[in-house]
Every structure is written in C-alpha cells, then in structure tokens.
C-alpha cells in the first residue's frame, strides 16, 4: 500500500509504504481485513498531518478494481471486495466533512503525469504503462477520459492476428497485453525456450547479452506496440505519449525502436513525441491525492490551500 500526504499545490509532504494484509483464504482475513488496514492508514496519516500542523481535507484512494464513483463503492477480486462502501467507511472514520475520491489506478497515474510529470503542458496525450498488464490513460482536450470507467483499454485491443493470436485473460484473442506486457515477455520467452525466467527483467538481460529467443520475443512486443501507438495516433492525435510501467526501465532499448517504428509508419498523421513517464511507481499515489484535491476545489470555492 503506497500512501502519503500531499499539499494542495501537489508537493509531497510525506510518503510511506505499508504492507497490505492478505485477503484470500486460507491465511487471509478477507476483504474486511484489507479495509481495516486502509482505514487505519487513513486515520494514522491524518493524525500525522495534524501533528505536523496540517489538516487533511480530502482522501484519494486508488484501487485495482471496478469503481462506482456515484455510490462510492469498489469491487476488487484480489481484495475480496464486492461493492465495498469505501467512501462511507472513510468518512465514518475521519468525519463526513472529508472529500473522498475513488479512482482507477492507471487514470490516477496518468493524471499525475499530466499535472506534474511527463505529460505536463499537453492537452491531448497518452499515458501507457507497460507492467504486468497494459491499460492506458487518455488525455483529451486537457482532461482524463473515463468512459464511466471503461475507457482506455488499449491493452485489450487486438494487435496479433491469425494463428499467432493467444487467448487473453479478458476472453479476447491477440490483445496487446498478450504480447507486450512485462508478464507476456516472461511467459513467451519461457514458452519458446522451456526455461523459466525471473520476469521481464531477465528477458531484457538476455536480450542485452544477444540471446536470439529474447530478441524474437522482444521484436514481437515492439511490433505490436508500434501498431498500437500508430492506431492511437491516427484516432486521437496525441502530441505526446509517455510510456510507463516496469518495461520503461529498458530505456532507449524500448523507446528508440518505438519512435523509429512509429515515425516510419505515419503518413498524414501528426507525429507524437514518445517519452518515458517521469513519476514511476509513485504516479498512482500522487494522482489519487491530486484528484482528491480537485474535489475540494470543485466543492468549496476560495479557501483551497492549507
């Protein structure tokens, strides 16, 4: 659990990481245990803020799950939450005068990149973290596109065709995520070679050492990513694309061929800058706080800063 205290201007006052209790049986304490840990964190951070002379005005929570913003509930398989009333529980713990904003993790990360990271200054751009999975945060006309929580699933669009298309966890075939996520790189290298590797990191090390199978798996990922970036550019015309997630640790090994491939494919389209995201693993946490502050601005006029 990444958490922190963030001032109205986006300055990070405090940052910490806590362990999330196991939810799943046999050893886990169920969804309630996770929720209790969240509430404890919120209360303790609020007390810490008070001790430091600040007052918590709003709480932002980012969860890898399905958020019902209207009801303030979250469903998340791994946490054993089913329509769990996270907003009401936080307000019961801190008091009803606290704004609570629940958000999608990738969109929150994209919002942080937009406000304080690699997408700063753009009005039409894309945040594309390549991690265990792939989702995207789309910035259009200066705002994040939510699509009622459904938008941005670039990882689940088809970029592998014919017999090479694998079944994705989402039930579709040939999704970008099946070939270009960090998890896919490790799985596909293993499938080719029969050798179990320690994640995408090891595939990248093998690639650097000149391993031919690693090169093939990497090229297939790049081909699909270039297709995806060309498609997004043709449809939404971003001026900048920030690649994030674990894979961007590969640096120019990833970014240089993406730039070259996109440049070569575009004809009439406007070419986007392709850059590394700046905020790393902190993006989601910071974005949650910034989104929560936005609610304070919306709901109260004037007195915004502490």
Interacting residue ranges for a copy of itself, rule: CB under 8 A: 124, 136, 138, 140-141, 143, 145-148, 150-154, 156-158, 161-162, 170-172, 227, 230-232, 234-238, 265, 267-270
- What DSSP line would sit under 174-197, residue for residue? SBTHHHHSHHHHHHHHHHHHS---
Distance linking the first and last C-alpha atoms of the chain: 26
Task: Look up tokens 């109260």; give the residue.
Answer: 300
Nearest approach in angstroms of CB 226 to a copy of itself is 11
Q: Do the Cβ atoms of 2 and 17 come closer than 8 Å?
A: yes
* Residue 199 buriedness (CB in 10 A; 0-12 / 13-18 / 19+): middle
Closest to a copy of itself by CB, 8 vs 145, is 145
Closest to a copy of itself by CB, 135 vs 279, is 135
Closest to a copy of itself by CB, 189 vs 232, is 232
Closest to a copy of itself by CB, 66 vs 183, is 66
* Residue 143 buriedness (CB in 10 A; 0-12 / 13-18 / 19+): exposed
Beta pairing, strands 58-63 & 2-6 = unpaired
* Integer Rg of the chain from CA: 20
Closest to a copy of itself by CB, 72 vs 272, is 272
Nearest approach in angstroms of CB 123 to a copy of itself is 9
Nearest approach in angstroms of CB 175 to a copy of itself is 9
Closest to a copy of itself by CB, 92 vs 167, is 167
Closest to a copy of itself by CB, 117 vs 152, is 152
Nearest approach in angstroms of CB 69 to a copy of itself is 14
Nearest approach in angstroms of CB 158 to a copy of itself is 7
Nearest approach in angstroms of CB 91 to a copy of itself is 27
Q: Do the Cβ atoms of 28 and 47 come closer than 8 Å?
A: no
Torsion of CA 38, 40, 45, 50, to 10 degrees: 140
Nearest approach in angstroms of CB 173 to a copy of itself is 10
d(CA 280, CA 166): 29
CA 250 to chain centre: 18
């Amino acid at each position: 659990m990444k958490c922190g205290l963030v001032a109205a201007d986006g300055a990070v006052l405090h940052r910490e990481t806590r362990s999330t209790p196991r939810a799943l049986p046999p050893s886990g304490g169920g969804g309630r245990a996770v929720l209790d840990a969240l509430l404890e964190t919120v209360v303790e951070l609020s007390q810490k803020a008070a001790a430091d002379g600040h007052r918590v005005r709003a709480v932002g929570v980012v969860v890898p799950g399905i958020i019902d913003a209207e009801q303030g509930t979250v469903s998340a398989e791994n946490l054993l939450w089913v329509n769990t009333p996270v907003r009401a529980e936080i307000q019961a713990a801190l008091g009803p005068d606290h704004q609570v904003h629940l958000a999608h993790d990738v969109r929150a990360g994209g919002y942080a990149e937009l406000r304080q990271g690699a997408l700063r200054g753009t009005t039409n751009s894309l945040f594309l973290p390549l991690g265990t999975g792939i989702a995207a945060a789309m910035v259009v006309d200066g705002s994040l596109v939510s699509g009622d929580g459904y938008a941005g699933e670039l990882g689940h669009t088809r970029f592998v065709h014919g017999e090479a298309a694998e079944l994705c966890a989402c039930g579709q075939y040939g999704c970008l995520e099946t070939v270009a996520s960090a998890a896919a790189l490790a799985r596909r290298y293993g499938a080719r070679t029969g050798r179990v590797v320690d994640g995408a990191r090891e595939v990248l090390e093998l690639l650097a050492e000149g391993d031919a199978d690693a090169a093939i798996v990497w090229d297939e990922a790049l081909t699909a990513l270039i297709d995806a970036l060309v498609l997004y550019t043709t449809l939404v015309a971003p001026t900048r694309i920030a690649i994030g997630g674990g894979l961007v640790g590969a640096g120019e090994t990833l970014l240089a061929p993406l730039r070259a491939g996109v440049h070569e494919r575009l004809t009439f389209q406007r070419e986007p800058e392709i850059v590394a995201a700046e905020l790393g693993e902190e993006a989601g946490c910071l974005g949650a706080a910034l989104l929560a502050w936005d609610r304070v601005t919306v709901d109260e006029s004037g007195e915004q800063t502490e």
